[in-house]
Amino acid sequence: MITVSSRSFGSTTGSLKAWRRAPRGEWVLARGPVQVVLGYNGWVKAMQRLQGTGTTPAGRFRLPYAFGNSPDPGARLGYRHVDAGDWWPYEPRDPATYNVFQQRKAAQTRWRGDYAEHLTSYGSQYAYALVVDFNLPSGVHYSQQRHQRVATKRADTARGGGIFLHVRGDGLTAGCVATNRRDMRWLVRWVRPGARPRLVMGPHDYIVTL
């Protein structure tokens, strides 16, 4: 389990800790505390988050897979070494591809610049990243008609997408959690799918209720 906590909903920095379950069931600190930066408008409860608000969703989330501009560091989760064809759109005008990782951008696809991340353009910030299961769709498959990956059960286009745990850049984030490269690389290597990894994050007084 990974926890990210801070003093209040207005915090824009916090502390990350990684925990492992001991044989007797208790949680033992494996890494941390490590400083992180958050969205420029602090936290909001996950179900209340809206796109474009600069808030980090507070709650409990799965960590389904990892990706990065750097080669696989030895991740035990699925890891995608991104290349120039890879995108992460959250374009409200295109609900089928909203918050769906894409391995190409089809010629007929029209994502506005502020609503799609060309992953390689983020350089060292996306050297290593863990995908946070916030507002992810399901039933994702490749559409021969669209030449894009699309979702059967779509994400909520009002809530935003592209929430990751990634390497820190300059300043705060638009909603992600970011930390230093060394610890981010360690986290990508450490998280094990068999352990059903979870990220629990938010103000301390809130996450203790989750």
**Confidence check: pLDDT of 194 > 90:** no
Q: Which two tokens stand for residue 93?
A: 């005008």
- CA-nearest of 154, 152, 201, 161 to 179 is 201
Cβ-contact 137, 161 below 8 angstroms: no
What's the rounded Cα separation, in Å, for the pair 169 and 122?
A: 9
Residues in the chain: 210
- 8 falls in which pLDDT band (50, 70, 90)? very high
Please state the pTM of the whole predicted model: 0.96
Cβ-contact 19, 27 below 8 angstroms: yes
pLDDT of residue 74: 98
pLDDT of residue 154: 98
| 3-state helix, strand and coil shares in percent for the chain, rounded to the nearest 5 | 15, 35, 45
**Confidence check: pLDDT of 195 > 90:** no
- What's the total number of domains in the chain? 1
Residue 135, CA distances (Å) to 19, 59, 107, 156, 204 in order: 25, 12, 26, 7, 22
The 10s digit of each residue's pLDDT in 85-114 is 999 999 999 999 999 999 999 999 999 999
Mean pLDDT of the chain: 97
**Confidence check: pLDDT of 188 > 90:** yes
The 10s digit of each residue's pLDDT in 149-161 is 999 999 999 999 9
Give the burial class of 62: count Cβ atoms within 10 A of its Cβ; 0-12 exposed, 13-18 middle, 19 or more buried. Answer: middle
Q: What percent of the chain has pLDDT over 90?
A: 97
Its domain, for residue 65, covers 2-207
What's the rounded Cα separation, in Å, for the pair 82 and 176?
A: 18
Give me the helices (H) in 121-203, please.
181-190
The 10s digit of each residue's pLDDT in 35-82 is 999 999 999 999 999 999 999 999 999 999 999 999 999 999 999 999
